[in-house]
Amino acid sequence: MKNRPGSDLTIQAMSGYLRTMGDVGEEPVRVGADVVSTCTAAMSFIAILSALYSRIQTGKGQQIKSSMLGTMMAIKTLQWSGFSDPDSWEGNFCKNETDGSNYGQRTKDRSIFATPSPALTEDKFFEMITEFGMYEEFMKDEDLVKNWWNSFGVGTKASQARPLWDKYLTKMTSEEVLEIFYRYEVWAVEFSNIEELRNHPQVEFLNMFEKYENDTYLRAPWKTPWGFPKIDPIKF
């Protein structure tokens, strides 16, 4: 996409800032300013100050390259942390340091990711879990009933509710589960496995996988004018 016309809204979409863009099916909206440009400028300013400080200390110059996509992905991480009250250590938000790998919601054949959209109402949620066959067992847990919105996806009760979801959704195929989720305004998508990603044309074009000896490493989805650093794996 690098040679195609872009905008602040394009980077917002690619970095996952969907909630700041308006409603599905409606005209896109701005937050009031070019958020991507403004934030990237702030990041670049910090980089410039760091480069000047380094030159004062070492006498050597620095090379700076800004990435709008990289900036927004980094800032989004901080934004989610603020939303999730990380000091409470509760839930699925921003717990990379304290939680294990997340392999998505299991089904009979493959994993999917699912999280409620703003259009999912409480009544529709309970209709949905009735279709999944888990309504009666779900209703026995008062904490989950009270926090139904946070009982799956990246919700604060998702880990607590995972065994219950697994019990019922693993009886169904991913196609069957997705069809129900879509009807109830749940954002859901199949997980890609590593082999599917490696063979994807866009991933191949971005050269995100690199072989080193007997291992394969995954790079970030952006490049610099001076190329990639050499891989120097940490040995344990």
Average pLDDT (150-179) is 91
Regarding whether 2 and 63 lie in a shared domain, the answer is yes
Whether residue 211 lies inside any domain: the answer is no
Whether residue 221 lies inside any domain: the answer is no
Whether residue 137 lies inside any domain: the answer is yes
Residue 164 has pLDDT above 90, yes or no: yes
* Residue 120 near residue 184 (C-beta atoms within 8 A): yes
Q: What is the three-state SS of the chain? A: CCCCCCCHHHHHHHCCCHHHCCCCCCCCCCCCCCHHHHHHHHHHHHHHHHHHHHHHHHCCCCCCCCCHHHHHHHHHHHHHHHHHCHHHCCCCCCCCCCCCCCCCECCCCCCEEEEECCCCCHHHHHHHHHHHCCHHHHCCCHHHHHCHHHCCCCCCCHHHHHHHHHHHHCCCCHHHHHHHHHHCCEEEEECCCHHHHHCCHHHHHHCCEEEECCEEEECCCCCCCCCCCCCCCCCC
pLDDT at 107: 94
Domains held by the chain: number = 2
Domain span including residue 177: 112-191
* Residue 226 near residue 220 (C-beta atoms within 8 A): no
* Residue 148 near residue 125 (C-beta atoms within 8 A): yes
Whether residue 236 lies inside any domain: the answer is no
Regarding whether 122 and 78 lie in a shared domain, the answer is no
Whether residue 219 lies inside any domain: the answer is no
Q: Return d(Cα 195, Cα 184) in angstroms, integer.
A: 31
Residue 97: band (very low, low, confident or very high) from pLDDT cuts 50, 70, 90:
very low
Regarding whether 77 and 6 lie in a shared domain, the answer is yes
pLDDT at 132: 96
* Residue 166 near residue 104 (C-beta atoms within 8 A): no
The model's pTM = 0.59
**Region at 134 (left for phi over 0; alpha for psi -120 to 50; beta for the rest):** alpha
Cα separations (Å) of 195 from 30, 147, 200, 204, 207?
Answer: 37, 36, 9, 12, 15
pLDDT at 38: 87
Whether residue 97 lies inside any domain: the answer is no
What is the residue type of 27? E
Regarding whether 123 and 55 lie in a shared domain, the answer is no
Of residues 128 and 77, which shows the higher confidence score?
A: 128
**Residue 211: both structure tokens together:** 């072989």
Regarding whether 131 and 57 lie in a shared domain, the answer is no
Regarding whether 129 and 181 lie in a shared domain, the answer is yes
Regarding whether 123 and 54 lie in a shared domain, the answer is no
Whether residue 120 lies inside any domain: the answer is yes
Regarding whether 42 and 119 lie in a shared domain, the answer is no
